[in-house]
Structure 1
Amino acid sequence: MLEEQKSNDAQADVSTEVLTEKQLKSAQEAQELLQRVLSSEILDVRDRVAYILSSSADARNSDIKLAWRYWTTFESEIIGSGGLTEKAMLKLSKISSLCRARAKIQNEYKLFQADSSVKKRRGTLEGKMKADAIEDKPNHLGLYSVFIDESGKNDKYLMVGSLWLLRYGPDYIIKDLELKDWKKYSGITYEFHFTDMRPASLEQYKAFFIKFLSLYPEVGFKLIVVKNKGFTDVASAITDLTFHLLSDGIEHEHNSGRAPLPRKLDVTIDDEDLGSDAVKLANIKERLKGQGREGLFIGDFHAAPSGKSLFIQAVDLFVASVNRKLNQPGDNKPKDQLADFILNVLNLNLGKSNYDKSTVFELSEFSLDV
C-alpha cells in the first residue's frame, strides 16, 4: 500500500511538473506574440488574428466581425473591387481557422479578452471572474491608446511623457509597415533613441519624427514634470507620476471635447524589467479602477521593448527633448538642436499647457532658465 501511495505521489509530481512547463510555455508564447503585435511583425495567421483583436473590441466579441476585419485587412486583394463573391469566399481564410486562433489567444494566452457576457456565453468565465465579472463595454467604444516613457531619474527634474492615440484600427498596420519601409529605404538600421543620437544622424532623426507625424497626424503628446527632490524611491515616484499623467490626460481629453468618455484605456510602457513592470502596471491599473470614473473602461496594460515599437521610440524622443531643455539647457549641440526641432514641431512652449498637440501637467514650478 505504501509503495502504491509513493507511486501515485510520483505521478502527481510529474503531472504538476508537466502542467507547470505547459503554463510557462504558454506564457512565453503569449509574450512573444504580444511583442510581435506591438511591433507589427506579423508572421502568420495567429499573429494576424492577434493584431485584429488588439485593435478591435468588436472582433474580440464576434467571430463574424473578426473574420470580416481579417479579410478586409489582410486579404483585400482576394475580395477585389467588385465586392465579396462566392468565388472569392472560397479563397478566403476559413472562419473556423480564425476562430481556433482567436480561442487560443483569448483562452490560453489570456490576451485581448472578450467582454464578460461574451465569455460567459462562450463558457470561458471561470472561478473568481464569474463573481467579479467586469462591466460590459458599450458597442463601438472609443479608445485611449497611450505609450509612455520616463526621463530625468538622476537630474533636477523628473518627468514622464506620453503619446496618445485616439483610434487604433487594423488599417494602422499599413502605416506601421510604411514607416518601416521608409526606414529601410533610407538605410536606417538603428532604433531612434535620443541618448544614442550622433551628429551625423541628426537629420535622419528629424526626418523620422516628421514622417511619424505625417502618418499619425492625430496623435497627442502629454508630459508631467516634478522637481526630483525628496524622493526616497524614484521608481515609486515614477509610478505615481504615470498614474497622474494618465488620470489628468483622460480628464484633459474628455473636458476638451477632443476625445470624450466613454472610452477604453490601453497603456504600453517601455519595458525595463519584467517583474517590476508588471507590478508597476498592476498598481496603476488598480488606482485607475479605484477612481470609479464613469465611462472609463480599463483595457490592456503592457510593457514592450522600444526596439519593437516605433510609438515608444517617438515618445522617447519627445520626453528626452523636454529633459534636455529642462536639465541641460544652454548649449547648441546636435542634441539641443534636435530637442528644439521636436518641441517646435509640436508647438510646445514649456510652462504653458493645453496645446492641441502637446500638454504639460505641472506638479511643481519650473522654468527654462534653470
Structure 2
Amino acid sequence: MANDEQKRSEESDESEKGRKKRSKSIEEIEKEAHELLDRVGGATVDTLRDRVAFILNRYGEARNSDIELAWLYWTLFEPEKFSGRSITKDEMFALTRMPSLVRERARIQNQYKLFQADADVKEFRGTLEEDARQQAVEDRPAGIPNTTIYLDETGKNQNFLCVGGLWIPDSGINVVKVKQELDKWRESTSIKYEFHFSELTRAKLENYKEFFARFLKLNPTAGFKIIVVRNSGFSDLTQPINDLTFHLIDQGINHEHHTGRAPLPRLLQVWMDQDEAGADALKVANIKERIKAQQIDGLYLDNFHTVSSESNYFIQVADLFTGAVNRKLNHDGNLNHKDELADYILAMTKMSIEEIDVENTDTDNSVVFNLGNFSV
C-alpha cells in the first residue's frame, strides 16, 4: 500500500514537472513572438525570420500563398539575384530555398500565432482551430493598399492628455529603407540613445532636430494627428486615454479618406507604444473592437499591437511629436532646450497650438488635428 502511495506521489511529481516544462515552453514561445513583433514593428530585418515576418505583416497575399511569399522575398531582399523574370538553374540555387521560407512562415503562423492566413487557407492547411471555425470572419480583398499608424500618449500627470499618431499610407519596403538609413546616420554620429522628448538634454538638441528632419525627408507621405483633452475630473485615466485613442483612429480614417490622402478601401495596422502587458492587451482589444463596431465601409482591420520603442524609429517620432504638443500646452515656466525642440517640430509639421480647445474636458468632443504635406 505504501509502495502504491509512493508510486502515485512520484507520478504526481513527474506530472507537475511536465506541466512546468510545458508552461515554460509556452512562455518561451510567447516571449519569442513578442520579440519578433518588436522587430517587425521597428522594420528590423536582420535574419531570415525577421524578413519572412516583415513580408507576412506587410503583404497579406503572402500569408495565404507560399509562392507569393517566396516571390516577394526574392524581389525585396535578393534583387541582385532575382530579376522578377525567368531565372536559370544556377540562379535558382543562389536564392534562399523555398522550404526554408515555408518553415519560417509555418513557425510564425502556427507557433507564434502571428500574421494569420485567411480561414479557408488555414482549413486547407489543416491549421484552422475550432474556436476560429465558430467565428465567421470576412476575409479582406486581395491587393488593397494599407495605412500604418504609430501611436504614443503623454500628459498623465499634467493639465492635458494627448494622444498623437504618425500615419504612413502605403507603407511597404520603404520602412526598411528608412530604418537602415537612420541606422547608418546614428552609427556615423556615434549616437547610442533612443529619441524620447522627456529624455532630451541641451547636448542632444541638435541631434534630435536632425533625427526628426531626416525622418520626414525619408517619409514624404507621412502625416501626423493629435487629439487633446483637459485632464480634469477623471478618476482613472485608462478610459479617457482609450477613448482618445479610439477617436484619433476613427476621425483620422475619415479624414484620410475624404481628403484623398488614403482613400478606402484600405487595410489598417496600428502599433502602440507598450506599457504593461495585461493592460496593453485589454487596451488593444477594446480599441480594435470599437473601430470594428463603426462598420466603416472599405476599412479592413489587420494587426493592432503594442511594441517596444527600442529601435523603433516610428514610435520614437510619434513620441517626439506628441511630446512637443504636450510641452507647449502644459509648460508655463522658463523656456529651455525642450521648448526650442517643441517649436522646431511644430513648425515643421505646421501645427498651431492656438487651434486646440484648451477648455474641452469631454473626450467625445475632442477634435483631431490632421497635419501633412509638410516640406523639409
Compute the TM-score of the two structures, normalised by the length of structure 2.
Answer: 0.88
Per-residue CA deviation, residues 236-263 of structure 1 (Å, 9 max, x unaligned), is 2111111111111111112222212222
Q: Distance in 2 between matches of 1:145 and 1:306?
A: 16
Give the equivalent residue in structure 2 for 1:135: 138
Amino acid of the structure 2 residue aligned with 1:134: V
Q: Structure 2 regions of 5+ residues with no counterpart?
A: 357-363, 369-376
Asked if 1:274 is matched to 2:277, the reply is: yes
Q: Say whether the 8 Å CA contact 1:227–1:364 is kept in structure 2.
A: no
Asked if 1:86 is matched to 2:62, the reply is: no
Change over 3 Å in CA distance of 1:248–1:9 after alignment to 2: same
Give the equivalent residue in structure 2 for 1:66: 69
Equivalence map 1:107-146=2 (5 Å): 107-146=110-149
Give the equivalent residue in structure 2 for 1:338: 341
Equivalence map 1:149-164=2 (5 Å): 149-164=152-167
Question: Bigger shift: 101-110 or 242-251?
Answer: 242-251
Amino acid of the structure 1 residue aligned with 2:236: D
Amino acid of the structure 2 residue aligned with 1:239: N
What SS does the corresponding residue of 2:116 show, helix, strand or coil? Answer: coil
What SS does the corresponding residue of 2:247 show, helix, strand or coil? Answer: helix
Residue 193 (structure 1) shift: 0.9
Asked if 1:232 is matched to 2:235, the reply is: yes
What SS does the corresponding residue of 2:353 show, helix, strand or coil? Answer: coil
Per-residue CA deviation, residues 96-119 of structure 1 (Å, 9 max, x unaligned), is 110111001001101111122221
Give the equivalent residue in structure 2 for 1:245: 248
Q: Distance in 2 between matches of 1:363 and 1:28?
A: 37
Question: Bigger shift: 215-224 or 54-63?
Answer: 54-63
Amino acid of the structure 2 residue aligned with 1:188: I
Instruction: Report the number of matched residues.
Output: 358
Per-residue CA deviation, residues 263-303 of structure 1 (Å, 9 max, x unaligned), is 22211111121121111111111212222222222211111
Give the equivalent residue in structure 1 for 2:374: none
Residue 14 (structure 1) shift: 4.5
Equivalence map 1:38-53=2 (5 Å): 38-53=41-56
Give the equivalent residue in structure 2 for 1:324: 327
Asked if 1:32 is matched to 2:35, the reply is: yes
Give the equivalent residue in structure 2 for 1:176: 179
Give the equivalent residue in structure 2 for 1:368: none
Q: Distance in 1 between matches of 2:158 and 2:260?
A: 35
Amino acid of the structure 1 residue aligned with 2:75: T
Q: Distance in 2 between matches of 1:150 and 1:329?
A: 20
Q: Distance in 2 between matches of 1:17 and 1:331?
A: 56
Residue 177 (structure 1) shift: 0.6
Q: Pick from 100, 104, 107 the counterpart of residue 103 of structure 2.
A: 100
Asked if 1:189 is matched to 2:186, the reply is: no
Q: Say whether the 8 Å CA contact 2:44–2:179 is kept in structure 1.
A: no
What SS does the corresponding residue of 1:77 show, helix, strand or coil? Answer: coil
Q: Pick from 280, 296, 300 the counterpart of residue 297 of structure 1.
A: 300
Q: Distance in 2 between matches of 1:191 and 1:198?
A: 12
Q: Say whether the 8 Å CA contact 1:69–1:170 is kept in structure 2.
A: no
Q: Distance in 1 between matches of 2:147 and 2:213?
A: 22
What SS does the corresponding residue of 1:134 show, helix, strand or coil? Answer: coil
What SS does the corresponding residue of 1:144 show, helix, strand or coil? Answer: strand
Q: Say whether the 8 Å CA contact 1:206–1:341 is kept in structure 2.
A: yes
Q: Say whether the 8 Å CA contact 2:268–2:303 is kept in structure 1.
A: yes
Give the equivalent residue in structure 2 for 1:357: none
Per-residue CA deviation, residues 111-133 of structure 1 (Å, 9 max, x unaligned), is 11112222122221111101103
Q: Distance in 2 between matches of 1:256 and 1:96?
A: 44
Q: Structure 1 regions of 5+ residues with no counterpart?
A: 354-360, 366-370
Q: Say whether the 8 Å CA contact 1:35–1:304 is kept in structure 2.
A: yes
Q: Say whether the 8 Å CA contact 1:209–1:314 is kept in structure 2.
A: yes
What SS does the corresponding residue of 2:310 show, helix, strand or coil? Answer: helix
Residue 79 (structure 1) shift: 2.5
Q: Distance in 1 between matches of 2:258 and 2:334?
A: 38
Give the equivalent residue in structure 1 for 2:371: none
Compute the TM-score of the two structures, normalised by the length of structure 1.
Answer: 0.90
Q: What's the Cα RMSD here?
A: 2.3
Question: Bigger shift: 113-122 or 328-337?
Answer: 328-337
Q: Distance in 1 between matches of 2:84 and 2:62?
A: 23
Q: Say whether the 8 Å CA contact 2:148–2:171 is kept in structure 1.
A: yes
What SS does the corresponding residue of 1:308 show, helix, strand or coil? Answer: coil
Q: Pick from 245, 251, 258 the counterpart of residue 261 of structure 2.
A: 258
Percent sequence identity over aligned pairs? 45
Residue 336 (structure 1) shift: 1.0
Change over 3 Å in CA distance of 1:123–1:170 after alignment to 2: farther
Q: Pick from 308, 311, 316 the counterpart of residue 308 of structure 1.
A: 311
What SS does the corresponding residue of 1:78 show, helix, strand or coil? Answer: coil
Q: Say whether the 8 Å CA contact 2:160–2:330 is kept in structure 1.
A: yes
Give the equivalent residue in structure 1 for 2:80: 77
Q: Distance in 2 between matches of 1:333 and 1:83?
A: 61
Question: Bigger shift: 291-300 or 128-137?
Answer: 291-300
Per-residue CA deviation, residues 287-336 of structure 1 (Å, 9 max, x unaligned), is 12222222222211111121221001101110111011111157542211
Per-residue CA deviation, residues 31-52 of structure 1 (Å, 9 max, x unaligned), is 1222222233333211211111
What SS does the corresponding residue of 1:257 show, helix, strand or coil? Answer: coil
Asked if 1:217 is matched to 2:220, the reply is: yes
Amino acid of the structure 2 residue aligned with 1:257: G
Q: Distance in 2 between matches of 1:68 and 1:111?
A: 20
